[in-house]
A and B are shown apart, each in its own frame.
Chain A
Amino acid sequence: MSRLGLRLCVGVASLTALTFGALAAQTITAAGATFPAIIYGKWFEQFRQKDPSVQINYQAIGSGGGIKQLTAGTVDFGASDKPMSDEEIAEVVKQRKFKPLHFPTVLGAVVPIYNIEGVTKELKFTGDALAGIFLGTVTKWNDKAIASANPGVKLPDQAITVVVRSDSSGTSFVFTDFLTKVNDAWKNKVGANAAPNWPVGLRAKGSEGVSGQVKQLPNSIGYVELTYAIQNNMGYGSVQNSATKFIKAELASVTAAAAGAAASMPEDFRVSITNAPGAAAYPISTFTWLLIPDKISDPTKKKAITEFLSWMLTTGQQSAAPLHYAPLPKQVIAKEQKAISLIK
């Protein structure tokens, strides 16, 4: 027994040493959107290497989750690819006594990803075809709503398996925001929302979950941020924009979509760029935002967060393009650098 006791003591002691002794870094917790999670993962890793005393733990739980946990006060800052509504901001002010500030970080595109047996060519989707698929009115891959835009592609006579997000998601918001702008049936039945009442579809958690599910299921379609599609070698289609051109999501077409917004960015950075004008603009593009409290009481955390923001707006932007996100337009960066001083 005494030997057992001794061994237990040694075990406990070494465990305590391990947990307290080794590391004394300041941890900042952030949570939210899965859409930019790939570049955020990269950024927070790079930033930790630059300054090992600060580590920012980012958990991709969905945009809705980011807003909720910020409201509940369980994270230091949130992230979302859907700008917060006035009511949501008021709720944070009421519960937490600070106002969340929106800081755009990068631009990205939501793409329809698919996994169709025997189809390797890139598909073209009209807004109406996408709305029909996700409403459940277009049920087969060879439906003429899809086929008419894709002459020369042999589409199978197979049922479409729709995969959507189960969590409250900015990606869903951007996608449904686009569908609402281009399709009246969608507008009346479902509308734009982070957690819409989907008429059809399997549900998977996070962008990882949706791309994982589409990859596993033949004849399925889903929607994710461009990077997820490219990283996983998945087929993704081009989408018809407001100038009736079929545009593929890439840096240039996403940047083109932001051109209008960059020139007339509102003071609080809350802006939608879906179905943006311009012949080269990709229609399901969006900014993605960090939601930072305007009052941070802990001075070390405040310093770390503002330093991260400055770094992200300069050095950090260089990581965007290799990961298939579009860097911010110059005017927006200049405007944000001024806004950092609002954090008290």
Chain B
Amino acid sequence: MATAAIPIAKPRSFLGRLIGGDEIAFAITWTASASILLVTVMLVWQLWSRSSLARAKFGLDFLVSRTWDPVAVQFGALPFIYGTLLTAVLALLISVPLGVGAAIFLSEMAPRRLSDIASFLVELLAAVPSVIYGLLAIFTLIPLLRTYGEPFLHNTLGFLPFFQGPMYGVGYLAAGLILAIMTFPFIISISREALMDVPNDQREAALALGATKWEATWQAVVPFARLGILGSVFLGLARALGETMAVTMVIGNTPTISASLFSPGSTIAASIANEFAEASGDVYLASLILLGLVLFLLTIVINGLARLLILATTKKGTSV
């Protein structure tokens, strides 16, 4: 691109560029870039080839079988896939309304200075390491859930299958809550940017028609930025799916499938963290690597969707 923008300089010969150093600089930077491609291809290849034993033995049944039994050497990923999706969805159910609400406040209501400070704080929230969320969850969130949160839900909404069964504190609900907190920053900061990019005409037109501030925001501004907001939701989802430490510290690590949110469960990432170092036997190890591959594919699909959506809003700049 840059070359096209130089109309005056006459093209140098290859030798001239070599002596000038341009070709060398090109080669060095190209190599650095290419190494990223190489290492990513290697990563995919290693996950693929090292999981071949499990793929050959279980095939697609791996994705739908509920048995995870190292003794019988039978491995099915369904409990982990279920736990991964359930906790991620639970997290988003909490974090999307709160996050988008906060983003609306920061972009539409708050004075610029306050908005900047708040979004700076939110970005710091994104920098807190996940093991620290786990540490806090073990010693605060779980006892609170066990003594107050879960009994309360059980007493008020206990007729629903989601809020039945024994209350341990650890389980899907705890994992969902901690993931909600961890996805806040993504949703708030990206939604806020998308909302702030909405042209002012959009707001003024709605206000001029007699809309209240909220109506203008909800009916004219938010729809305009909806793709960006959706993109932020997908980014949050990708983060929630791949999160390991905070989840493994609070979920109970049991390969079961249960409708109750109080039940202990496990996720793909948590089970790898728990079992990878000690998996004895080739098929067991291959199955764990295959789990890694499944998680990898899941997150790149979600990430890809998120980027497409964000790109679509920033490029077109109009609502579709």
- Interface contact B69-A197, CB-CB below 8 Å: yes
Given contacts A193-B71, A203-B253, whether A168 and B166 have CB atoms under 8 Å apart is no
Interface range on chain B: under 10, 10 to 19, 20 to 34, or 35 or more?
20 to 34
Residues of B within 8 A of A88 (CB): 280
Residues of B within 8 A of A71 (CB): 280
Given contacts A203-B252, A203-B254, whether A168 and B168 have CB atoms under 8 Å apart is no
B72 partner, pick from A69, A197, A218, beta carbons under 8 A = A197
Given contacts A197-B69, A202-B168, A205-B253, whether A68 and B277 have CB atoms under 8 Å apart is yes
Interface string of B162-174 (1 = CB under 8 A from A): 0000101110000
Assess whether A62 is interfacial by the CB under 8 Å rule: yes
- Measured CA separation A217–B274 after assembly (Å): 20
A217 partner, pick from B72, B169, B254, B280, beta carbons under 8 A = B169
Residues of A within 8 A of B266 (CB): 203
- Measured CA separation A62–B280 after assembly (Å): 11
- Measured CA separation A213–B183 after assembly (Å): 27
Residues of B within 8 A of A202 (CB): 168, 170, 252-254, 264
- Interface contact A167-B278, CB-CB below 8 Å: yes
- Measured CA separation A298–B277 after assembly (Å): 25
Assess whether B275 is interfacial by the CB under 8 Å rule: yes
Residues of A within 8 A of B277 (CB): 61-62, 65, 68-69, 167
Assess whether B143 is interfacial by the CB under 8 Å rule: yes
Assess whether A195 is interfacial by the CB under 8 Å rule: yes
- Interface contact B280-A197, CB-CB below 8 Å: no
- Measured CA separation A68–B45 after assembly (Å): 23
- Measured CA separation A67–B68 after assembly (Å): 21
Residues of A within 8 A of B170 (CB): 202, 213, 217
- Measured CA separation A196–B143 after assembly (Å): 29
Q: Name the distance in Å between A78's Cβ and chain B's nearest Cβ.
A: 11
- Interface contact B275-A167, CB-CB below 8 Å: yes
- Interface contact A195-B71, CB-CB below 8 Å: yes
- Interface contact B71-A166, CB-CB below 8 Å: no
- Measured CA separation A160–B278 after assembly (Å): 28
Q: Name the distance in Å between A61's Cβ and chain B's nearest Cβ.
A: 5
Residues of A within 8 A of B142 (CB): 216
Assess whether A159 is interfacial by the CB under 8 Å rule: yes
- Interface contact A197-B71, CB-CB below 8 Å: yes
Interface range on chain A: under 10, 10 to 19, 20 to 34, or 35 or more?
20 to 34
B254 partner, pick from A67, A168, A201, beta carbons under 8 A = A201
Interface string of B242-256 (1 = CB under 8 A from A): 000000000011100
Interface string of B59-80 (1 = CB under 8 A from A): 0000000011111100000000
- Interface contact B278-A191, CB-CB below 8 Å: no
Given contacts A201-B254, A202-B170, A204-B253, whether A168 and B278 have CB atoms under 8 Å apart is yes
B274 partner, pick from A67, A69, A167, A218, beta carbons under 8 A = A167
Residues of B within 8 A of A193 (CB): 70-71
Assess whether B279 is interfacial by the CB under 8 Å rule: yes
- Measured CA separation A64–B284 after assembly (Å): 12
Interface string of A149-174 (1 = CB under 8 A from B): 00000000001010000111000000
- Interface contact A203-B274, CB-CB below 8 Å: yes
Q: Name the distance in Å between A210's Cβ and chain B's nearest Cβ.
A: 11
Residues of A within 8 A of B278 (CB): 61-62, 64-66, 68, 167-168, 195
- Measured CA separation A202–B262 after assembly (Å): 12
- Measured CA separation A154–B69 after assembly (Å): 37
- Measured CA separation A213–B68 after assembly (Å): 23
- Interface contact A166-B69, CB-CB below 8 Å: no
Interface string of B227-260 (1 = CB under 8 A from A): 0000000000000000000000000111000000
Interface string of A197-234 (1 = CB under 8 A from B): 10001111100000001001110000000000000000
Residues of A within 8 A of B138 (CB): 216
Closest to A191 in B: B71
Given contacts A61-B278, A202-B264, A216-B143, whether A195 and B168 have CB atoms under 8 Å apart is no
- Interface contact B168-A205, CB-CB below 8 Å: no
- Measured CA separation A205–B169 after assembly (Å): 17
- Interface contact B279-A168, CB-CB below 8 Å: yes
Q: Which of B142, B252, B266 has the most CB of A within 10 A?
A: B252
Residues of A within 8 A of B285 (CB): 68
- Interface contact A168-B252, CB-CB below 8 Å: no
Q: Which of B69, B266, B277 has the most CB of A within 10 A?
A: B277
- Measured CA separation A201–B255 after assembly (Å): 10
- Measured CA separation A71–B72 after assembly (Å): 21
Closest to A197 in B: B69
- Interface contact B168-A197, CB-CB below 8 Å: no
- Measured CA separation A167–B278 after assembly (Å): 7
- Interface contact B274-A195, CB-CB below 8 Å: no
- Measured CA separation A213–B142 after assembly (Å): 11
**Given contacts A166-B275, A167-B275, could you give 13 more A-B pairs where the C-beta distance is less than 8 Å?**
A65-B278, A67-B280, A68-B277, A68-B285, A69-B277, A71-B280, A88-B280, A168-B279, A202-B170, A203-B254, A203-B266, A213-B170, A216-B143
Ordered by A's residue number, 25 sampled pairs between the chains whose C-beta atoms are within 8 Å are A61-B277, A61-B278, A62-B277, A62-B278, A64-B278, A65-B278, A67-B280, A68-B280, A71-B280, A161-B168, A168-B70, A193-B70, A195-B70, A195-B71, A195-B278, A197-B72, A202-B254, A202-B264, A203-B254, A203-B264, A203-B266, A203-B274, A205-B253, A205-B274, A216-B138
Binding site for A on B (CB under 8 A): 67-72, 138, 142-143, 146, 166, 168-170, 252-254, 264, 266, 274-275, 277-280, 285
